Chains A and B, each alone.
Chain A
Amino acid sequence: EPEVTQTPSHQVTQMGQEVILRCVPISNHLYFYWYRQILGQKVEFLVSFYNNEISEKSEIFDDQFSVERPDGSNFTLKIRSTKLEDSAMYFCASGAERDEKLFFGSGTQLSVL
């Protein structure tokens, strides 16, 4: 079965540094998402992306966050100036159709020190 691939699997950064989390969605998918899970808490929606623009975002997704699909295969999440509370597992997901099932990657564990 096709997979969503996320790199790196673990990332450690210093507070205030910029990080870019990378995802390769399934090739024919059109809808792209980022979710995150802080340890011990719920999986939370961050943002959805379709047709090269953000289609929906949560309150978490503030000016420090941005997403990009730079080359038609990668989908990235950038955090400009990381905070301690950004430490979480970040999941990328993609879907072929708006209401069809989502395929999730195995996540990037971000640790902000």
Chain B
Amino acid sequence: AQSVTQLGSHVSVSEGALVLLRCNYSSSVPPYLFWYVQYPNQGLQLLLKYTTGATLVKGINGFEAEFKKSETSFHLTKPSAHMSDAAEYFCAVRNTGFQKLVFGTGTRLLVSP
């Protein structure tokens, strides 16, 4: 069965610093991978997704993620954090042929001035 593991329930960065949120997946077949963001009192919003093709995926708000099959990873990065990036971030996986998303436990990003 597919699963994702997000390392670190909380990540703290200073404004302007690099953001790195880690996600490793487990899947017996090539997966679809997603990053979602949840701002307070809002629903989950898709940041980016990997299905096939280019392994470096660019998303909204300056985020990007790289699919590394050899490392079974799909880490989320942003070169320079902004205060407005403070939120909960979820990595998710879905196998082809299935509709359900399997989410990680989430990482709360804290951005300090």
Taking beta carbons and an 8 Å cutoff, which residues of A are in contact with B?
A: 4, 6, 31, 33, 35, 41-45, 48, 55-56, 58, 91, 93, 98-99, 101-107
Residues of A within 8 A of B61 (CB): none
B100 near A58 with CB under 8 A, answer yes
A-B contact pairs, 28 of them (CB 8 A): A4-B43, A6-B43, A31-B99, A33-B99, A35-B101, A42-B104, A42-B105, A42-B106, A43-B44, A43-B103, A43-B106, A45-B101, A45-B102, A48-B99, A48-B100, A55-B99, A56-B98, A56-B99, A56-B100, A93-B44, A99-B32, A99-B51, A102-B46, A102-B101, A104-B43, A104-B44, A105-B43, A107-B43
Residues of A within 8 A of B43 (CB): 4, 6, 91, 93, 103-107
Residues of A within 8 A of B90 (CB): 43
B residues engaging A (CB < 8 A)? 32, 36, 41-46, 49, 51, 90, 92, 98-106
Name the prevailing secondary structure of the A interface residues: strand
Kindly list chain A residues whose C-beta atoms are within 8 Å of the C-beta of B99: 31, 33, 48, 55-56, 98
Q: Which of A33, A43, A55, A106 has the most CB of B within 10 A?
A: A43
